[in-house]
Amino acid sequence: MNSVSEIFNNAKTEGRKFLLEPEAKTICKMYNIPVTDFKVAKNEDEVVKFSREIGFPVVLKIVSPDVIHKSDVGGVIIDLKSEEAVRKAYRQIIENVKKYKPKAKITGILVQEMAPPSTEVIVGSIKDPQFGPALMFGLGGIFVEVLKDVTFRIAPITEDDAREMITEVKAYPLLKGYRNMPPADIDAIIKIILNTSKLVMEHQEIKELDFNPIMVYEKGAKTVDARIILE
Ligand code: ADP
Ligand code: MG
């Protein structure tokens, strides 16, 4: 699949209003939004093969149109360091998903690069019925979920807007470096917000999108999970 509309059409043909993680990440790549390296495996041996190609440690995730919140059903196992661990995790995920929904359609198992833990941020977009797509930024985890420490702008935005979004959240000092935490690559986050702005402006069929979490490093950033919901 090599264009955004092809991916959207494929989802629609299958009666889906949301993209599977590999589809959403393929679109991210088209817009220069960095993601963890990934491959979709169809069976256990392929999982092992792809894990070797990507390099340990890896993460395995369920790919299923019947599972939206993957970790809620035991569909995500991270930090797998060996072939043995990967084989075991593969069987565990299939078992967990079958337990959750015996008739769940399993498209495959996503094998991906394990992103080292770091400061987590979220970039999202929702569509305002009046103003069109808006962009959201915040720090991950409790900052978004508990403190609602997020900021919004109507798309499209400029580089200055993106920088402002980052500096105006209350948790911003954490990005500048804190105790033993090195400073985060703010320019890498700005690029992601700008590219997300471009994506939602060029594809108005996107109703909602979230890149959560994005791991931010001293140099660079990587989207670990991507969700795109269509109108
Ligand atoms: P869910 O559908 O439940 O949101 P995620 O893909 O976000 O599933 O995975 C759940 C959590 O597992 C993430 O929030 C992140 O903490 C961790 N995780 C997922 N993928 C990776 C990865 N490639 N590298 C490191 N951690 C990951
Ligand atoms: Mg997630």
Q: Which residue has the tokens 């993680």?
A: 21
Residue 20: nearest ligand to its CA? 1
Ligand 1 centroid to Cα of residue 201, in Å, is 27
Beta-sheet pairing, 119-128 with 206-216: antiparallel
pLDDT at 1 over 70: no
Q: Report CA(214)–ligand 1 centroid distance (Å).
A: 10
pTM of the model: 0.95
Specify the residue with its C-alpha closest to ligand 1, atom 21. Answer: 224
Nearest of 58, 75, 97 to residue 21 by alpha carbon = 75
Q: 206 with 230: CB under 8 angstroms?
A: yes
Give me the percent of the chain exceeding a pLDDT of 70. Answer: 99
Separation of CA 16 and ligand 1 centre (Å): 22
* pLDDT 10s digits, 59-73: 999 999 999 999 999
The strand pairing partners of 123, in sequence order, are 137, 211
Q: Bridge-partner residues for 226, per DSSP?
A: 211
